[in-house]
Homo-oligomer: A and B are copies of this chain.
Amino acid sequence: MSHRERCAAAVLSELIEPGQLELYALVVEHGAAATLDRLLAAAGSVQLSRTAIAKLGRRDAYARGAELIDQAQRCGARLLTPQDAQWPQQLTDLASLSCDDCAAAPPIALWLRGELPLRDVCQRSVSIVGARAATSYGMHATTELAAGLARRGWTVISGAAYGVDGAAHRGALAAEGATVAVLACGVDRAYPAGHARLLQRISETGLVISEWPPASMPLRHRFLIRNRVIAALGRGVVVTEAARRSGSRVTARRAQELGRPVMALPGPVTSAMSVGPHELIRDWQATLVTSAADVIAEVGSLGDVFAEQAESGHADACNDPDSQHARLLKAFPARQAASVEQLAASCRMTPRQVRGILPDLIMRRLIVNHPDGFARTTPS
């Protein structure tokens, strides 16, 4: 990738809030530099906001991009773009979610602090999310769960917030496992302030990542935008504690829309912080898990899909007519979307088996996740 492209990607990550489908489409089609040129010429419907223009001031946009990359380097951070080998392909799944109104498009750039290769680290990974106001039970159970996953070689992804997020990272660190903190601000910022040392530790043995360049503020709206990355990056999402209506439930829904297994940890029915997980389980939105082994049983059936997909393409399970993949593919109605239950009935599998295979098919671009169910992609 040319330096010009990298500079363009860097400055775009500063000028425009991530998640916009139109911007993502432009970058995919024309590249970051051509997209930036269009924006600067105020052509097309994606326009730079006044704030963005003010931010750029009189500086040359490419020079600003180069400056950001330099600044990042000085604080031990680096830029990762979809052209890099270590870009996690699973983030592309977000393209199936996004609409014009919601900020759900895949990232166009990530800033990383830490040495680990992001894609490799996320090949066997689980996102753990939950309440900031976690109970001591929730903190204990989350720490144990994260440590158990880490001991089994699974990376723990979370958002570095107080409560459940912190317990998830700490559990993984305690077990000397890899952990990835996805921030809603620059990777050089200590947010929340009380987690400065924790973030430092994560960057030393794991990764602190963000869509926003170093020094960016943790603005309120950024957390929701950030959450989609947590939902897409892991092979599955576990909600350990959450109140009745919480951000964690939104992340869980995103993960579900992406075909990722959603799991929830039960707790005492007397605890307000277990209401969120219990509702998810009761409403069949999440599978109940009580241990790392349970979690791996849910997500492990995917095999090393994230790893395989980039290399092997379709020359695999889908082409073996006796495989579950092939049976499931055949079960799809011609031009209609189908629910997991309908698919399970058609191909004589359990809904759980179907849920285990769907993410794979989605990641292979054979299936898309519509609001009214799953459907085969139309060969273009």
- Name A residues whose Cβ lies closer than 8 Å to a Cβ of B: 137, 140-141, 265-270, 274-275, 278, 281-282, 284, 287-291, 294, 339, 341-342, 344-346, 350-352
Chain B positions within 8 Å of A342 at CB level = 345
A-B contact pairs, 26 of them (CB 8 A): A141-B268, A141-B269, A141-B270, A266-B266, A266-B267, A266-B269, A266-B274, A266-B281, A266-B288, A267-B267, A267-B268, A267-B269, A268-B268, A269-B290, A269-B291, A278-B290, A281-B281, A281-B288, A282-B289, A284-B351, A284-B352, A339-B345, A341-B341, A341-B351, A342-B345, A344-B345
Chain B positions within 8 Å of A345 at CB level = 339, 341-342, 344-346
C-alpha spacing A183/B345, complex, angstroms: 41
A270 near B140 with CB under 8 A, answer yes
Closest to A291 in B: B269
C-alpha spacing A290/B289, complex, angstroms: 17
C-alpha spacing A270/B284, complex, angstroms: 23
Number of copies: 2
C-alpha spacing A342/B352, complex, angstroms: 14
A282: contacting residue among B267, B275, B288, CB under 8 A: B288
Chain B positions within 8 Å of A290 at CB level = 269, 275, 278, 282
The smallest beta-carbon distance between A245 and chain B, in angstroms, is 16
The smallest beta-carbon distance between A244 and chain B, in angstroms, is 11
Chain B positions within 8 Å of A351 at CB level = 284, 341
Chain B positions within 8 Å of A352 at CB level = 284
Chain B positions within 8 Å of A274 at CB level = 266
C-alpha spacing A274/B275, complex, angstroms: 17
The smallest beta-carbon distance between A354 and chain B, in angstroms, is 10
Chain B positions within 8 Å of A284 at CB level = 351-352
Closest to A137 in B: B268
The smallest beta-carbon distance between A148 and chain B, in angstroms, is 11
A287 near B282 with CB under 8 A, answer yes
Closest to A141 in B: B269
Chain B positions within 8 Å of A346 at CB level = 345
Closest to A289 in B: B282
Closest to A339 in B: B345
The smallest beta-carbon distance between A126 and chain B, in angstroms, is 16
C-alpha spacing A197/B106, complex, angstroms: 66
The smallest beta-carbon distance between A279 and chain B, in angstroms, is 9
C-alpha spacing A345/B141, complex, angstroms: 37
The smallest beta-carbon distance between A351 and chain B, in angstroms, is 6
Chain B positions within 8 Å of A137 at CB level = 268, 270
The smallest beta-carbon distance between A55 and chain B, in angstroms, is 47
Besides A268-B268, A284-B352, 13 other A-B contacts (C-beta < 8 A): A137-B268, A137-B270, A141-B268, A266-B268, A266-B278, A275-B290, A281-B288, A282-B287, A282-B294, A284-B351, A288-B288, A342-B345, A345-B346
